[in-house]
Structure 1
Amino acid sequence: MHVASKQPTHFSGGTRLVAARGPRGTGGRAARLLALGLLLAGGGEAQAQARPPDFRVIAFFTGKQDLAHISFVREANQWFPRMAAQYHFAYDTTSDWQHLNAAFLARYQVVVFLDSRPEQAAQRLAFQQYMEHGGAWLGFHFAAFALTPSAYPQNWAWYHEQFLGSGEYAGNTWRPTAAVLQVADRHHPATRHLPATFRSAPNEWYKWTRDLRQNPAIDVLLAIDPSSFPLGTGPKPFEIWHAGYYPVAWTNRRYRMVYANMGHNDLDYEHGTNQPLSSTFSSPAQSQFLLNSLRWLGRR
């Protein structure tokens, strides 16, 4: 699925009631009267369907730095529009980060970072001010990545230290595998009706330099359950986790936000096809968590 880069792509749905034309004469007049009656009778339904969306979402993405991330972006931009049609919100996407400005963001109640972060100072300031004035955010996987030295250094202290609270990237599992996740907060709207533990979709799991449990502003929502260990297949030993505490989704109580570490699909590297071998939305409980998070963020 190709997503336009310069102008936001709009995903919308709805039903229009159209009166059919009958043949001329008595039969045609009767058909027109019947159609008019149906339109009048269905007026309430039509008005309900024509009501504005409950909230509007704009999803930013780059779609260049990793084939597994690109795979996730493509399926996210198919899955979220289906959820938007079902749960009555609007979902737009853009890969033009110049849209990350105050005037553009004012149209939306939720911002999503699918696979990266803004790099320009003006974009970063606009996002910070948006969040500090009540905006909402859902971030995935690489959107929290920072590593010095790398192409994505830790050069945005507010975002990585205060907003996310995770600091820098400190390592990952390999290859992408499913994990058993435990619900760390049973009372949050994003997790309230989830099972205590559930199996995730395959993912490359990150760990961080900061211990989120030590940050009073952070509410960990999901973490790796110990039954997952050993997690990863290597071949490098440090890519297999045998023990430890690894949060994979959390919120910062000072902002309306949720970060989810999901968003790296498994690909067919061995045969050189790079075809997806997994889907981030293949776990019903994980998908429910993501939908719950977005709907919670969109409500005021």
Structure 2
Amino acid sequence: MPRVRALPSIPSLCLRLLLLLTVLLGTVGAPAHATAAPFRVLALYNGTWDAAHISFVKEANEWFPKQAAANGFTYTASNNWDVLAGDGVNAYQVVLFLDDLPQTAAQRTGFERYMRSGGAWMGFHVSAFTTNASGWSWYHDQFLGSGDFTSNTWGPTTAVLRVEDRTHPATRSLPATFTSSVSEWYSWSDDLRRNPDIRILASIDPSSFPLGTDPDQTWYSGYYPVLWTNTKYRMLYANFGHNAMDYATDTPLSSTFASATQNRFVLDGLKWLGGATGAGRAVPAGSAGGRSHDADGR
């Protein structure tokens, strides 16, 4: 006589069905790549001096919101630098300095506290400018490591940038060299190569020389870092953000976001700073933005 298999009890059967349903739903609904929680970006700007910087601020405040919508972060632009002096800055995972730096003692103390407490920062071009580094030594000598401004190229031009470190999340997807967007380029009193805390990510490639259109403000040789990070902090500095201008008519002649490869650095760097996954992927097609598109990566 054949043996009769005992049927599972009703509670046991329900539990098995529940577990099976959970597995099926998890398999179907799970994304291919899990992402971190959205992060919040605060961009601080001055927007009142030098038409080339004002032009950059205007286009940055158009470009970044589009990237935020496409890449899972929020973007808030403000010219109220006093937010650094209070607790308001703590609501943001990343702070950008577009065209200036903190001026008051309270703003400077608040920013240093924010960074020492684990905040993240990306600065552009003139945010590092000073001829009095000792006036805020922590920022210029320690945090940035650059010291005083010493010279600049003129007029604004593209440059071939050599990526020196392709292991960092901000540069991992970049080619060995690429053509930047137009900018005015700075040199510094301190040699960043001698600073053990500084990790240089990209510099002017020698193929760029001579760099500049004014013979009195042209670089013919030398070593000039452009992108770097300080390994003691979550930060990135980029020495671009100055558009070419027709100053007589206040008309921009270039766009900082004209190079898709340079844009990739900005977006991947921002994702790394904000703690999101996906750094190292290419910027979506059509995101280069700006008026001119003659400076794509190569």
TM-score by length of 2: 0.79
1:222 equivalenced with 2:202 (yes/no) = yes
Provide, for residues 57-110 of structure 1, a one-character-per-residue CA deviation record: whole Å limited to 9, x for no partner. 001000112110000000000000000000010000100111113410110000
1:139 partner SS: strand
1:296 equivalenced with 2:272 (yes/no) = yes
Residues 36 and 275 of structure 2 are in contact (CA less than 8 Å); yes or no, is this contact kept in structure 1? no
Provide the residue aligned with 1:182 in structure 2.
Answer: 162
> How far 1:54 sits from its partner (Å)?
1.1
Provide the residue aligned with 2:150 in structure 1.
Answer: 170
> How far 1:53 sits from its partner (Å)?
5.9
Provide the residue aligned with 1:22 in structure 2.
Answer: none
1:181 partner SS: strand
1:95 equivalenced with 2:95 (yes/no) = no
> How far 1:52 sits from its partner (Å)?
10
Provide the residue aligned with 1:284 in structure 2.
Answer: 260
Provide the residue aligned with 1:25 in structure 2.
Answer: none
* Percentage identity across paired residues of the two chains: 56
Provide, for residues 136-156 of structure 1, a one-character-per-residue CA deviation record: whole Å limited to 9, x for no partner. 0000000000014xxxx7510
Q: Give the number of the structure whose alpha-carbon radius of gyration is greater.
A: 2
Instruction: Find the partner of 1:119 among 99, 103, 126.
Output: 103
Instruction: Find the partner of 1:262 among 237, 240, 260.
Output: 240
Provide the residue aligned with 1:202 in structure 2.
Answer: 182
Counterpart residue identity of residue 243, structure 1: S
Residues 55 and 89 of structure 1 are in contact (CA less than 8 Å); yes or no, is this contact kept in structure 2? yes
Unmatched 5+ stretches in structure 2: 1-27, 30-34, 277-298
CA distance in 1, matches of 2:36, 2:226: 34
Counterpart residue identity of residue 174, structure 2: L
Residues 116 and 143 of structure 1 are in contact (CA less than 8 Å); yes or no, is this contact kept in structure 2? yes
1:72 equivalenced with 2:56 (yes/no) = yes
> How far 1:274 sits from its partner (Å)?
2.0
CA distance in 2, matches of 1:276, 1:184: 31
1:223 partner SS: strand
CA distance in 2, matches of 1:248, 1:274: 27
2:220 partner SS: coil
Residues 212 and 220 of structure 1 are in contact (CA less than 8 Å); yes or no, is this contact kept in structure 2? yes
Counterpart residue identity of residue 165, structure 1: G
Report how many residues are paired: 244
TM-score by length of 1: 0.79
1:99 partner SS: helix
CA distance in 2, matches of 1:293, 1:66: 26
1:192 equivalenced with 2:172 (yes/no) = yes
CA distance in 1, matches of 2:36, 2:57: 26
1:156 partner SS: helix
Provide the residue aligned with 1:13 in structure 2.
Answer: none
> How far 1:268 sits from its partner (Å)?
1.3
Unmatched 5+ stretches in structure 1: 1-43, 46-50
Aligned pairs for 1:17-96 within 5 A? 54-96=38-80
Counterpart residue identity of residue 289, structure 1: F
Moved over 3 A (4+): none
CA distance in 2, matches of 1:61, 1:105: 14
Provide the residue aligned with 1:246 in structure 2.
Answer: 224
CA distance in 1, matches of 2:128, 2:81: 16
Provide, for residues 226-259 of structure 1, a one-character-per-residue CA deviation record: whole Å limited to 9, x for no partner. 0000000114x2x100100000110000000000
